[in-house]
Structure 1
Amino acid sequence: MQIKIAILILFVVSNCFSQNYGTIKDLDKSMGLPSNHIYTVDFDKDHYAWICTNNGVSKFNGSIHKIFNRDNGLPTNDINEIHIDSKNRKWLKGFYDGLYYIENDSVKRIKTNLTIKSFRLFYEHNNKIIFISSNKCYLLDEKNVLSEIKIASKYQFIDFDKLNNHFILNDGNFNEFFYNLSTNKIVKLPSEYRHYIGRIGDYVTYYKSNTILEFVQSRDFKIEDLYVYIDGKFQKPPSYYRSNLKAIRYKGEFDEKHLVYYNVDENKYQVLEQGKINVELSKKVSLIPFPNDKIQRIFIDDDHNFWVGFFDFSMKYIPNDFTKSLNYDFTSIFQEKITSIKFSCQLKNKVYYITYDNTFSCFDLNTKTNKIINKYKESPPNKLFIRNDNLYLSFFDGIEVFKIKADGSLNKIKYYNIPNRVSDFTNVGLVCAHYDNVIYKENDTLTKVNTEIRINRIESTEKCIIVSNEDKIFSYNIATKQVIENSSVKFSSTIYPFNDQILIGTLDGHVFLLNNKLKIVSKLKFINDKVSAIYYDESNQLFYVGISEKLHVIRIQKNQLKLVKIITHNDGLNLSEISSISSNGSHIIIATVQGVSLLEKKIIFNKQKKSIDIDINKIKVDGKIFDYGNAMLFLERDQNSIVFETSIKSFFNNNSNLKKFISLTKDGEDKKWNAVNEDVFSFNNLAPGDYTFSILIDDLNGIRKSKTIEFTINPHFWERQSFKIICTLILLSLIVFIMFYMREKRNKKIRAKVKLNDLELKALKAQMNPHFIFNSLNNIQSTMILKGVEKFNEQMVNFSIFLRKTLDIVNSENITLAEEINYITSYLSVENQRLNPKINLILRIDQEINLNEVKIPVMLLQPIVENAIIHGLSGSKKERNLIIAISIINSLISIEIEDNGIGRNLDNKSNKLKSHTSYATKIVLNRMKLYQELTKKEYTYEIIDLTNEDLKPIGTKVVLKFPLI
């Protein structure tokens, strides 16, 4: 009873003075839960906490809540329990029909024809799950097949004993039985033993029927009143439990890892971890700063954090290291609103402080009491410091000195009537700063040193007085009177001399290490805020530097300042500006403008193993949530904007030292890490390809975790590599085809030209055939004999001119109409030498045609003229006329060669010259075809048989049409 009263008094006192553990968090709607009405919590194999409320289930990773409710498959939002099996499935318990569970963040239901009401009890044994629902029992095997365990209807299932592999039954008449599932046998319990709701470790417990009813109906028990069933008989619990457990009240679930008991007699908690008492956990649970009669259940996760459920259905999260920090809020201590603390100092477990309303007070960390020493209304204090068990309170017009008694109380012993801005105490006595002068007492004589600077700060060592302001640092050696200045350190806010060195903090967040010559040895730059306090702890050779509301721990290694750790409100520190720092040995004492924080050294600086990871909470593709498992994502081409929402998976409050990096690579590129602070990452208008998104976290304790998501953005079919290859092959094939085509076309043209040249040569040969030359020469010879030399010479000249023109045009591809007509005229002159009557050449040429400019293929007309003479005119006895008409029709040159000879029909009756006629005509036709093939233009050759009204032949007309050259 005395222990209970003492603890109650301590609790009341602690609450009166606003004692609180800075790392304890309320689990409620303000941090993302769907309701403040919390039933229970359980922890899966991936270290997520599953919290059951009356408005849904939360999957909590320490940073954010993922909510499951009826919208995503729950049968009801009111889920009062959750059980997690060896396959990491989360079985839900509530008031509904059927069996529901969550697997891979998807709500599922067991498919069965059985009608199952909400189960009461859940067990897993030999890879099978047992559900006890009302008076029925069901078994779920490894293949997810559900079957009912059928026994006589008079029996009810009330419990399952895994150690003995049997059920405990009740027949409703206060008779209880064992039912062995393997043997299918039911055995009645001895009448003096009855089943009890509590357990000891893994043992199902029993009591004798003569035990008082109040004990049975409560969750309290005495270990000596309970029995267990071992080796086929009832006996007292094993000696280990009898020695360590006494009067017990359950404060937890029947968890395989942790069972929490409250020892009623000793007013403390005891924790069984896997069947054995964990002394450290038991001590910590006993320190939980909440009344036992308010606590309903305590849950312990794998990292030994505590989740405390209360009878009012609220819940608090208490980290394993919650005892490392303890805070005292001065506003609550005064029980009225006060102004903030201006400055403070500590000695042992006493904190002396001055508020901005100039109230001088002392707070006792042992008794948690506060005492107002004085209120200064007229002259405000400007500095408070302790030297040699004396407390000095500096004012602008003097300095009060108090002797600190053993109990921490103060006795005013002296008042120095010395005007000053700031002051300190050295081995030579009191030192004061007044405007730009340093005043100290040496050999009962006041000495004044002019520094020529407006002094804001003053500190001293055994040898030196150190002052500073916004522009410089000034050092004065008391013994040698030597003065040293440093103008490179500006805006100093704190001076801390130690071991012949000086640590300087500035208003803009710099920390400088100076030697005794005021030379800068090392420096660190923090946030752009005031360095308000510095303390050196010789026990571990660490500096504690207060900057704003954070405590920076610094070590000097090889004359270089090294940051060890940053302590924030997540570590339990009061969330307000630090004013002074000290130590009482086991704790760091940090006075802030709102109160005092005590941080346990050994817990802060021990590297505690953390369970920490990264979660990908949500993936959005083009603004829509994308279902994500652990498989690779395949996205369409227009799904090229993706958002990853991430969070830190950790139930430790202090993740401020974590550094986060991300990388997005494409098609196997090397990763390039970028430091980030945010949790949501957006990537827009991504090109098609195979991507890897990676996120990595790293902290100062060497913990490094990463997570990778692979996704592919499929290209349009025309963007695919295969399509590009096919197009390339088609293009190459087309190029090759075109090359071959052009080559073939060129070759064909060459062959056509060769053939054309051949035809032209054949035409020339036809013109110059031996028969023609022989006839011409024979005719010339006859002329010489019959008509004399003069006629001979004339014919000889005509014949030679014709031969010369033939030789002139044979090397030309095209000739002008004028040249062709001259050549035909020359040819006719030779032919007329042997013909009688002679052939009359009639030319009909359009006036717009310039015969000297219009060109035609060489020797195109002569073979036709020759045909007309040989096959038409030579057989005619009447006047012989050869008409050549030249005109331009529709951009085509039209040449008509008409004779008034005997015509083709009569000529064909004679075979005498048939072969020659066919040969000449064929040459012209072939040449026309070749010209058309080469130029891709229209070339036509038409023979028209001319007749009279009686259809008798009166001549032949040949019509040539071809484009202008």
Structure 2
Amino acid sequence: MIFHTPYRKVLFSILFIIFHFQYLLAQHYDIRQYGVSDGLPSASVYSVFQDSRDFLWISGQDGLSKFDGKKFQNISSDETDSISNIDVAFEDSLGNLWGNTIYGPYKFDGRRFINYPFQNKPRNLWVTQQFITKNKKIWVTVGSGIYELQNNVWVKIPFIKNDDLVFYNQVVELDDNRLLFNFRDSLCVYDKYQNLNRIICNEELFPVFKSVRTFNSEIFVFTNKRVYKFKNDSLIVIYPDEINGFVSDVYLDRSGKLWVAIGSQGVKIFDYYSSNQKSIDKIIILGEVYDIMQDRYGNMWLSGNSGLYRLTPRYIHFIAKPKGLICKVFNAGDGKIIIGRIEGEPFVFRDDSLIPVSENYNYRGKFKYSGAWMYSITIDKEQRIWMGNNHGNIYRINSNQIEDLSGRFQSFKRVMGALTYNRSKDAIYLSGDTGIVKVRNDSIVKNFSVFQNQGEYVNAMNTDYSGRTWFCIESKTAIVGYIKNDSVFTVKNFSIKLFSDSHFYFDSSGYTYITTKTQGVFKIHLITSDSIKIDYHFSTKNGFISNLINAIDFDKSGRMWVASTSGIFSIRIIDSLHYNVSKYNLDALTGVTDWSLCYLVFDGSNRIYFTNRYGAGYIECDKVVENVIPPKIYISDISIADNKVNWMEYCRLLTPFFFTPVKPVLPFSLNQFIISYTSACYSDADEIYYSYNMNDNDSSWIFNGTSNKVSLINLAPGNYVFKVHSRTANSPWSKAAIFEFKINPPWYRTGLFYGLSIVICGTGLIFYLKRRRDQFALKLKTQQHLHELEQRLLRVQMNPHFIFNSLRSINEYIQSHKTILASEYLIQFSKLMRAILENSRQKEIVLSKEIEVLELYMALESQRMEHPFSYSIEIDPEIDPENTLIPPMLLQPIVENSIWHGLAPRNKPGKIIIRVKKQNETIQCEVEDNGIGREVSSISNNGLKAESHGLKITAERLGIIEQIKKIETNLKFRDLNGDNNFTGLNVTFTLPFEEAV
């Protein structure tokens, strides 16, 4: 049929009205609809199921979808014909979902659908029910019978003989001995004795029992037209006057409300545990309702052929007032709530409407509000309402009449608008430009001078339960004080910057609260007349939502409600150091995002009235859920070294087989993780926040904001317990999800490596110590040997023959009356003996001392020989004799050998030349004579005569020097050819070059 334009417009108008009518009839709930545009695969939704992780599973016409409150994840499968119409029934202990289809039961393990075979394939596989029994057995009901899953095969349970004529629709466990069968056309109770008793329905002639729903101990049965309560094996019809239509579902929520879906009539809600037989609310949506469900957070979910609906209990009511900006809200007593405006007449909040004060109190005058706004309100004992604005205008409502008192207090050039009633003094305290005055019977009875400097003014006053009138003076720093018994006291130990519009509040325990615009709220109490103690400072540093506070108040339960520039929140004080914060996201509910002029007040009964720039509303305190259930969290996937691995599934599957939690053990090369986690939240306004921890210290949680993943890089070897929990702004932290794992150390940090290293190092240390011991023993032996050689050399140098010959020479000089020669010889002899003794005590001497000994020795030996010889000593210019060290008494034995075995047998004068040269880092010593040579003197092949003990000792000493100094001394003897067939001898050796320090 083709509609003409006028009819089409009419039709669209009717549909528009019907579509929006649902919200008019759902006065106690806020409704959110989800459809294809939100991600659902189909607008037709059959049922909703919430798993243990709080995710919703939506069964629809085009398959299964998973919903976390923000987005839908559509589950696909190759078996589209089998699972396109799956209906989730329950979740088993391992987290697997079990669903019903017209092709049999399916299990979904998160990755794939599993279909188990039937032992005897029934004629009809249409599953009408699937559940876990009290003894943990899985049963499934198909038309031809009831089957139990045994060893992954469905085995039929024979309850009734010859049951081919019945249709098994449902079975319910009534107790340990009895079952309730729903055969669609009848209800029967089956006991352990196999007795089948039919339940009679008196309300309907041919009832069709659609379903049986159980909620704790309550059992409901509904047909096409009626809802029954099953009790004592009988059916009792309920709400017969309200329910008369096609009933599609029944649900009893946790608050005791019974929800009944009646086809296209919508859903009627009853107070089940009361005697009221009338519905208390009605929900109408487009189309029919198929299924009703309540989630863990208290939200109700309706599914039908027009989509999915979420119903949230409404506890906030808001009235928009676009003309004139609204500011403060005041409790005027007797349920009167007055709303102040900026440059506008105040309102009275009445019957969920904002009524101008002049209309409410028949005021015929004109409010002076140009550029002014309501500053404070107080009530005296006669229930008269005093109002003051920030321009100093004072109004009083008396017996529904409004009086303008602005000109009555002439002592002030200007009334500032801050006022309060002191019940103990029965007086109104007003602030002005000269201080504070006490007013009684419309006259000023006392002035209080509270200002110290020009330009100061009182920005807040309030009176506590003890009769103290507190005031705050705006100055360079805030001046806080109070008036008690007509005396002014100033608090001296409280000095902070307080901007205008601070205020005082008092709780029932006698504590005073000071709100600020920059530093949160201070909770104080007096300890002396002029000093206070700050009991607690509420600020963002310890969990406060904002530091810019406009107002606070307390409800009957002691909960503190806070109005800030970030919105409204409440806190429940636990102890002196801890409190819980609950934030109420009013943006979506009020349509307002600017809360800079947000104020609130408690009406003394059940409501918190609040204002923002564009309207006013109230919160029903008893409907606000405190300690909101936190969102559950679980670890979704883990990427290890850029490879995504479902470790949680791996651990979950293996743990039951090993009877202990399984955790992955990874090599050191796989020490980089990206851990992803997720939570479900079904509030449009709430964000989910996360914190994680990597150790057992509960104070070291790391806040991760709204990010649902954490990167762990370059983890050290060890056992790790990763914990993450979640919360919304209005809930505490959830129970943590945990992922345990272990990272093995690298091979060079394993116990085996350490053990082998200890063995190798120990063995090496043993060899090293043994070598050091051997070296030390060798060194000690060498030093002993060297010492013995030095002693032997000393004995050789001071042998009796030399001493005897020297003394004989002296004697001959004396006998020959050569006393001068004798004296000189004796002096030289004594010098030589003393030098030899001194040098023998040292391991090394300077070269000059060695040359001195040689000169003395050669001079003495030349004088007493028959044919004296000449000698010379040549020193390399690069060598400083005074700073060059050599071992003592090395050259003397070689010179002695040249004199007595080379020059003496010559029988004619000879010559000895001693040369000391520097060669690189060594010293080359050379002794040369022009004697008879080795062959004539019968020197052996090695250059040493058997009687020459001095040369043997010198050769041994040089060998020891080679061992100690690690240098080759190269002792060499070389014959020289001379004139007249006389030969000579050249002896050389090498020493290390060492300088004296």
Provide the rounded CA distance (Å) in 1 between the counterparts of 2:905 and 2:889: 24
Which of 897, 900, 923 matches 1:892?
923
Q: 1:250 to 1:353 in 2, by over 3 A?
A: farther
Q: 1:855 to 1:355 in 2, by over 3 A?
A: closer
What residue is the counterpart of 2:716 in the other structure?
688
Contact 1:34 1:55 in 2 (8 A): yes
Q: 1:872 to 1:555 in 2, by over 3 A?
A: closer
Query: Per the alignment, in what secondary structure is the counterpart of residue 449 of structure 1?
Result: coil
Q: 1:552 to 1:469 in 2, by over 3 A?
A: farther
What residue is the counterpart of 1:522 in the other structure?
513
Q: 1:21 to 1:114 in 2, by over 3 A?
A: same
Write out aligned runs for 1:17-32 (5 A).
17=24, 19-27=26-34
Write out aligned runs for 1:772-791 (5 A).
772-774=802-804, 789-790=816-817
Contact 1:643 1:680 in 2 (8 A): no
Provide the rounded CA distance (Å) in 2 between the counterparts of 1:910 and 1:401: 144
1:43 equivalent in alignment to 2:50: yes
Contact 1:899 1:956 in 2 (8 A): yes
1:453 equivalent in alignment to 2:430: no
Q: 1:557 to 1:115 in 2, by over 3 A?
A: closer
Q: 1:347 to 1:703 in 2, by over 3 A?
A: same
Equivalent AA in structure 1 for residue 788 of structure 2: D
Q: CA deviation at 1:90?
A: 2.0
Which of 884, 890, 893 matches 1:863?
893
Query: Per the alignment, in what secondary structure is the counterpart of residue 907 of structure 1?
Result: coil
Query: Per the alignment, in what secondary structure is the counterpart of residue 183 of structure 2?
Result: strand
Q: CA deviation at 1:339?
A: 6.4
Q: 1:583 to 1:17 in 2, by over 3 A?
A: farther
Q: CA deviation at 1:758?
A: 3.3
Provide the rounded CA distance (Å) in 1 between the counterparts of 2:958 and 2:640: 71
Contact 1:903 1:946 in 2 (8 A): no
Task: After superposition, give the CA deviation of every residue in 1:616-657 in whole Å (9 maximum; x if it has no partner).
Answer: 55667788767553766777778777666666666689989x
Provide the rounded CA distance (Å) in 2 between the counterparts of 1:475 and 1:246: 83
1:901 equivalent in alignment to 2:932: yes
What residue is the counterpart of 1:315 in the other structure?
308
Task: After superposition, give the CA deviation of every residue in 1:835-868 in whole Å (9 maximum; x if it has no partner).
Answer: 65x3634547377477955665332222123333
Q: 1:432 to 1:420 in 2, by over 3 A?
A: farther
Which of 761, 771, 778 matches 2:791?
761
Write out aligned runs for 1:115-134 (5 A).
120-121=126-127, 122=130, 124=132, 129=138
Q: 1:318 to 1:471 in 2, by over 3 A?
A: farther
What residue is the counterpart of 1:929 in the other structure?
959
Q: 1:564 to 1:737 in 2, by over 3 A?
A: closer
Q: CA deviation at 1:476?
A: 3.8
Provide the rounded CA distance (Å) in 1 between the counterparts of 2:430 and 2:222: 59
Q: CA deviation at 1:924?
A: 0.8
Equivalent AA in structure 2 for residue 604 of structure 1: V
Q: 1:109 to 1:714 in 2, by over 3 A?
A: same
Provide the rounded CA distance (Å) in 1 between the counterparts of 2:395 and 2:941: 155
Q: CA deviation at 1:88?
A: 3.0
Query: Per the alignment, in what secondary structure is the counterpart of residue 416 of structure 1?
Result: coil
Equivalent AA in structure 2 for residue 315 of structure 1: L
Equivalent AA in structure 2 for residue 383 of structure 1: P
Q: CA deviation at 1:474?
A: 7.5
Task: After superposition, give the CA deviation of every residue in 1:693-729 in whole Å (9 maximum; x if it has no partner).
Answer: 5556799999874555566677767789999999999
Give the length in aligned residue pairs.
Answer: 833
Q: 1:661 to 1:119 in 2, by over 3 A?
A: same
1:941 equivalent in alignment to 2:935: no
Provide the rounded CA distance (Å) in 2 between the counterparts of 1:73 and 1:271: 29
Provide the rounded CA distance (Å) in 2 between the counterparts of 1:620 and 1:733: 45
1:478 equivalent in alignment to 2:441: yes
Provide the rounded CA distance (Å) in 2 between the counterparts of 1:724 and 1:803: 69
Q: CA deviation at 1:941?
A: 0.6
Q: CA deviation at 1:895?
A: 0.7
Contact 1:940 1:961 in 2 (8 A): yes
Q: CA deviation at 1:295?
A: 0.5
Provide the rounded CA distance (Å) in 2 between the counterparts of 1:939 and 1:676: 77
Equivalent AA in structure 1 for residue 584 of structure 2: T
Which of 286, 290, 304 matches 1:296?
290
Q: CA deviation at 1:766?
A: 1.2
Which of 597, 600, 624 matches 1:604?
624
What residue is the counterpart of 1:154 in the other structure?
none
Provide the rounded CA distance (Å) in 2 between the counterparts of 1:587 and 1:131: 50
RMSD of aligned Cα (Å): 7.1
Taking only the aligned residue pairs, the percentage that are identical comes to 16
1:205 equivalent in alignment to 2:187: no
What residue is the counterpart of 1:166 in the other structure?
158
Say which is worse superposed, 880-889 or 25-34, in terms of deviation.
25-34
What residue is the counterpart of 1:810 in the other structure?
837
Q: CA deviation at 1:482?
A: 3.7
Provide the rounded CA distance (Å) in 2 between the counterparts of 1:855 and 1:89: 91
Equivalent AA in structure 2 for residue 859 of structure 1: M
Contact 1:893 1:964 in 2 (8 A): no
Q: CA deviation at 1:289?
A: 1.6
Q: CA deviation at 1:310?
A: 1.0
Write out aligned runs for 1:502-901 (5 A).
512-513=504-505, 521-524=512-515, 525=521, 527=546, 568-569=584-585, 574=590, 576=592, 602-604=622-624, 610=629, 613-616=632-635, 627-629=646-648, 664=693, 671-672=699-700, 678=706, 688=716, 705-706=735-736, 752=782, 755-774=785-804, 789-790=816-817, 794=821, 798=825, 801-802=828-829, 804-812=831-839, 813=842, 820=850, 823-824=853-854, 826-828=856-858, 831=861, 838=867, 840-843=869-872, 845=874, 848=877, 853=882, 856-874=886-904, 882-890=912-920, 892-901=923-932
Which of 144, 152, 172 matches 1:146?
152
Contact 1:251 1:295 in 2 (8 A): no
Task: After superposition, give the CA deviation of every residue in 1:282-309 in whole Å (9 maximum; x if it has no partner).
Answer: 7369756235961011234567653321
Q: 1:941 to 1:391 in 2, by over 3 A?
A: closer
Contact 2:663 2:741 in 1 (8 A): yes
Equivalent AA in structure 1 for residue 835 of structure 2: D
Contact 2:394 2:404 in 1 (8 A): no
Contact 1:75 1:96 in 2 (8 A): no
Equivalent AA in structure 2 for residue 896 of structure 1: V
What residue is the counterpart of 1:958 in the other structure?
987
Query: Per the alignment, in what secondary structure is the counterpart of residue 811 of structure 1?
Result: helix
Contact 1:74 1:107 in 2 (8 A): no
Task: After superposition, give the CA deviation of every residue in 1:302-336 in whole Å (9 maximum; x if it has no partner).
Answer: 67653321123x222345xx3x63758879xxxxx
Equivalent AA in structure 2 for residue 90 of structure 1: N
Query: Per the alignment, in what secondary structure is the counterpart of residue 838 of structure 2?
Result: coil
Query: Per the alignment, in what secondary structure is the counterpart of residue 195 of structure 1?
Result: coil
Contact 2:437 2:444 in 1 (8 A): no
Ranges in structure 1 where 5+ consecutive residues have no aligned partner? 1-9, 150-159, 168-177, 179-186, 209-224, 332-337, 359-379, 403-413
Task: After superposition, give the CA deviation of every residue in 1:48-99 in whole Å (9 maximum; x if it has no partner).
Answer: 4444568886655x66669575699999996733344533332465999999
Contact 2:339 2:349 in 1 (8 A): no
Say which is worse superposed, 12-21 or 716-725, in terms of deviation.
716-725
Query: Per the alignment, in what secondary structure is the counterpart of residue 93 of structure 2?
Result: coil
Equivalent AA in structure 2 for residue 317 of structure 1: R
Q: 1:889 to 1:115 in 2, by over 3 A?
A: farther
Q: 1:84 to 1:849 in 2, by over 3 A?
A: closer
What residue is the counterpart of 1:325 in the other structure?
315
Which of 180, 189, 193 matches 2:163?
189
Query: Per the alignment, in what secondary structure is the counterpart of residue 927 of structure 2?
Result: strand
Ranges in structure 2 where 5+ consecutive residues have no aligned partner? 1-16, 174-178, 227-239, 261-269, 273-278, 473-497, 516-520, 522-544, 652-661
Equivalent AA in structure 2 for residue 860 of structure 1: L
Provide the rounded CA distance (Å) in 2 between the counterparts of 1:894 and 1:73: 105
Which of 391, 397, 416 matches 2:364?
416
